[in-house]
Amino acid sequence: MTDQPTELQVSNPATGEVFATVPATGPADVDAAVVRAARAQTAWAALAPGDRARLLRRFAVTVDEHLEELARLEVREAGHTLGNARWEAGNVRDLLDYAAGGVERLTGRQIPVPGGVDVTFLEPLGVVGVIAPWNFPMPIAAWGTAPALAAGNAVLLKPAETTPLTALRLAGLALTAGLPEGLFQVLPGHGPVTGNALVEHPGVAKIVFTGSTAVGKQVWAGGANHLKRVTLELGGKSPNIVFADADLEAAAAATPMSFLDNAGQDCCARTRILVERSVHDRFLDLLAPAIEAVRVGDPADETVDMGPLISRAQLDRVRSYGTDALDGIRGKAPEGPGHWFPPTVLTGVDPHARVAVEEVFGPVAVVLPFDDEADAVRLANATEYGLSGSLWTRDVGRALRVSRAVRAGNLSVNSHSSVRYCTPFGGFKQSGVGRELGPDALTAFTETKNVFISTEA
């Protein structure tokens, strides 16, 4: 392995300028952090459930008190629009509150057996490693951290190399709120070094990873060497299915931000727009002005709809799909410094073309026509991914049939909502393993222990 830099440079995606540096941790730092975390976890798990819940709620209040600070930090390091960043900081707060509510409801069962009483306990795993991505640094970090802490575990969070600042600030706010030292630690560093050290460390009981499918497979393989529990939230190439009987005006108006949110750097982005052939041209006529109206610019400007891509490397990746040579609908983006790409909807694309089947992770979608319901389902499932999707129809029966037939973990009817902290989230096929969020989130960070107590003399 080549030597990695000893510090991380954090740049503003809107300008390309480096505005902060953070020391990079390595394997020795991970070793020391695991020791601290294991010590803190023992004491944390021994707290009365109500006390753990109160501390987590205090953490949520502290996040809320610093919501604007966190949001503006997210704008600078990740290029998110200010409105989105405020929502993301609020999502961290809400998830901590929601997880705190589950602490005193994390119950086992009493199972009828002959000759005694049988009960189960849900025991914390111990130390959990959370490896968060750069596209939604704050909320996705909280998806693993909040329920893991609520279930009685300690958490070691490795943020992405490009977006470590909000994670570090959240760890500081946890201490301010009164969480024990060592319980929630942030380990900025490079994936092949710090991330791999977490995956391989025998003292880390579980890894929660969000990122590309290729890296997710490496994480799973590394965890398997230690029979480590792993949750993976990976890539997507999600469909947006528009039937002829849909409210076409509403569907067209909602389509732009279904794939342009966070400049398309969203694993749930509906980047395959499937439109029934009989209304294909009409839908494009409605979609064109909606795409052209999207405002792209400085993400700190509250009137902007879409900001820049995260880095030059990501911009180059999006350009590698040759979108400039294809027909389509295009919006406008700033020129000059920063990593800008215009909103783009491609038409007349071969369904097997790279841009139609691979996750571009940028503000690019393709429109593909279909003939009938069966053809729509076939096209929707013609991908290795299965994370999310939407369908638009006035027919309730069709909505239910297609929802059951599409192989994806999160679907919306007549909307584009996929992720709520109170509902389960995860994917089929190459989109991941396991589920996050929702009422069962805490149990994913526990072991079931069975105890039989004899009542016979």
Q: Which of 147, 136, 51, 152 is nearest to 421 (CA)?
A: 147
Asked about 181 being catalytic, the answer comes back as no
Asked about 267 being catalytic, the answer comes back as yes
Tokens of 124: 């914390």
Judged on CB neighbours under 10 Å (0-12, 13-18, 19+), 206 is: buried
The residue from 74, 77, 161, 233 that is catalytic is 233
Which 3-state string (H, E, C) describes the chain?
Answer: CCCCCCEEEEECCCCCCEEEEEECCCHHHHHHHHHHHHHHHHHHHHCCHHHHHHHHHHHHHHHHHCHHHHHHHHHHHHCCCHHHHHHHHHHHHHHHHHHHHHHCCCCCCEEEECCEEEEEEEEECCEEEEECCCCCHHHHHHHHHHHHHHCCCEEEEECCCCCCHHHHHHHHHHHHHCCCCCCEEECCCCHHHHHHHHHHCCCCCEEEEECCHHHHHHHHHHHHCCCCEEEEECCCCCEEEECCCCCHHHHHHHHHHHHHHHHHCCCCCCCEEEEEHHHHHHHHHHHHHHHHCCCECCCCCCCCCECCCCCHHHHHHHHCCCHHHCCEEECCCCCCCCCCCCCEEECCCCCCCHHHHCCCCCCEEEEEEECCHHHHHHHHCCCCEECEEEEECCCHHHHHHHHHHCCCCEEEECCCCCCCCCCCECCEECCEECCECCCCCHHHHEEEEEEEEECCC
The residues annotated with a catalytic role in the active site are: 233, 267
